[in-house]
Structure 1
Amino acid sequence: RGSDEFEDVKDTRTNIILGFSSTAWGVVWGLLASVIYLFAYDLAPYKFPADAWWTWVILFFVDDLAYYIFHRVSHETRLFWNFHVVHHSSRQYNLSVAVRQSWFSGILHWMFYAPVMLLGFAPWMFLLVHGFNLIYQFWIHTKLIQSLGPLEWVLNTPSHHRVHHGVNNPYLDKNYAGVLIIWDRMFGSFVKETEEPRYGIIKQIESYNPFWINTHGWVEMRDVIREQPTLWRKLRCVFGSPNMEFDETTRKTIPAN
């Protein structure tokens, strides 16, 4: 276990470095997104009252659904997976993995959340609710809690999220929930934890370098695109599924977790 523990320490250290650095980049992308959110809110034909309790209830559900859509697209479209793969590339599953995030994912986040402002929710209200959503997801990155009983039917729990991080075949690309697991149950992406997950990504990277962890997906996609004979195939490498395979004369796209 000595070498394993040493590797775990290095991985945890990398996670923390990525956490601080992605937060710094997130401030930059967040400021740019705020401009878009303010513009979208100005276009909203109706403005939800901030002093009504039911506004916050509706916003909670709208934001959580928007996160589900964002998260699912991040797994099912190669362009977005190249950002999200950073989070999944750790072979560990602990609280430090929660902060292992991409430097650049904030560039496109606004595409999924600007519609929330178009519905009439003020940007500051969205940021509060969305912040709660993200904070909630921190604690579920743990192997210490096995089950929360009846809450497993409604909430995203450590058990459900362990499934999400697993590369075992029953678990691959499942349980995209933020706070509520109901979206996965409704849209057919739910799987219950029945066996111990194997964590990481299918094509595991052997590096603790934060720069390579953030860029390896883009380098691999570039190489795959270069080998495709037609523009259509090149576009499919970018906008198609990360699990997509081509014929035997061409190279496979990099599988997603």
Structure 2
Amino acid sequence: MEILFDNMPNPFVYFVPIFALLILGEAYISYREDKELYNFRDSIASTWVGLGAALFNTLTKAYQIGLFFVFYKLFEPLRVTYLGYENMGWAWWAWVLCLVGDDFNFYWHHRFCHTVRIFWAAHIVHHSSEKFNLGTAFRNGWTIFLYKPFYWIWLPILGFNPVMIALCMSFNSIYQFFLHSTLVPKIPVFGQIFNTPWVHQVHHACNVEYLDRNHGGILIIWDRMFGTYMDKDKYLETKFGVLHPPVKHDPITLNFHEFSDIWKDVKQSSTWHERLMYVFGPPGWSPDGSRKTSKQLQAELQAQYVAQLQQAEVNAPRQNTPQLIAE
């Protein structure tokens, strides 16, 4: 039986009181143990950005679900003809497949948000906080809802009901709220398959070693499969935020400063290749190398490590070893 869009439940709403209590609890622990997990200006910025994101998500929800329904119905005759079924239905296994497909989708959507500058411009607001706490989970970009659904189109094409897809996306968002905390220790067995706050700290860090790592939503296996996984080094001090933070922390600046920077770069470019790279190339790309991408920064850091090791070997005192005298 089809679930009507008008009657579609929003599970996120039921979790809001839980989210609020957990944030208050984390803030209290921070205050009691002097951990400085929160500060007033950052929390206000996260609150306003989060409220704006909730509004934009609500305003674009009909567009997102409608887009899914278009492809769901458009490909229905092709599914019947070539695949032998009308839709995936509502069985438990369909929910499992949809959840896994949604999480796979999220991984690639999230990875491209870090490797394509125009998408990074929409996503950077989520990483702009220098504090990593549960409130950061609500610090989402306002423009991301305009293009995000296009990554999910293959799911309605295969016959997953658009309402099921939307609910799975909500479940994924709910799970990710709990990832934004430094108070949760490493979880050895669970963390081999599922994303945890321990490794999500790596994703939010601006340490060069940690850039563009751990993009998964619920599952961390995608990062392990596609070479973007990195465990948190307990000996490396984690620094949160972005390499080039915005000069202001009002919600408008936080959401649109990178778009403004892209426009400035495009205007001063002399070739179409440069213009396209400034928009669709990796963040940090520049034609003259005056700015660096994350891969370039990591390559430079790796070269420094190798040079230091080589120098240490040269400077290390040679140990006296006994000579073997032939009889």
Q: TM-score, normalised by structure 2?
A: 0.73
2:164 matches 1:125: yes
Q: Distance in 2 between matches of 1:134 and 1:110?
A: 14
Q: Report which stretch shifted further, 69-78 or 22-31.
A: 22-31
Larger RCO, structures 1/2 (Cα 8 Å, 6+ apart): 1
Q: Distance in 2 between matches of 1:136 and 1:94?
A: 15
Q: Equivalences for 1:1-257 in 2 at 5 Å?
A: 8-44=39-75, 45=79, 46-50=86-90, 52-194=91-233, 195-247=236-288, 252=291
| Number of matched pairs | 252
Q: Distance in 2 between matches of 1:120 and 1:196?
A: 46
Q: Distance in 1 between matches of 2:110 and 2:37?
A: 32
Please state whether the residue corresponding to 2:171 is helix, strand or coil.
helix
Q: Distance in 2 between matches of 1:30 and 1:70?
A: 18
CA root-mean-square deviation = 2.2
Counting aligned pairs with the same residue, the percent is 31
Alignment check: 8 A CA contact 2:206 2:241 kept: yes
Structure 2 residue runs of 5 or longer lacking an equivalent are 1-34, 80-85, 296-327
How far off is 1:227 after superposition? 1.9
Q: Distance in 1 between matches of 2:129 and 2:37?
A: 14
Change (3 A) 1:210 1:85: same
Change (3 A) 1:215 1:255: farther
Structure exhibiting the larger radius of gyration computed from Cα positions: 2
Residue type matched to 2:88 in 1? F
Q: Distance in 2 between matches of 1:40 and 1:253?
A: 40
How far off is 1:6 after superposition? 11
How far off is 1:130 after superposition? 1.2
Q: Distance in 2 between matches of 1:19 and 1:253?
A: 30
Please state whether the residue corresponding to 1:191 is helix, strand or coil.
coil
Residue type matched to 1:240 in 2? G
Alignment check: 8 A CA contact 1:245 1:253 kept: yes
Q: Distance in 2 between matches of 1:206 and 1:8?
A: 17
Deviations 1:166-202 (A, max 9, x none): 1112210000000000000000000000023210001
Change (3 A) 1:181 1:147: same
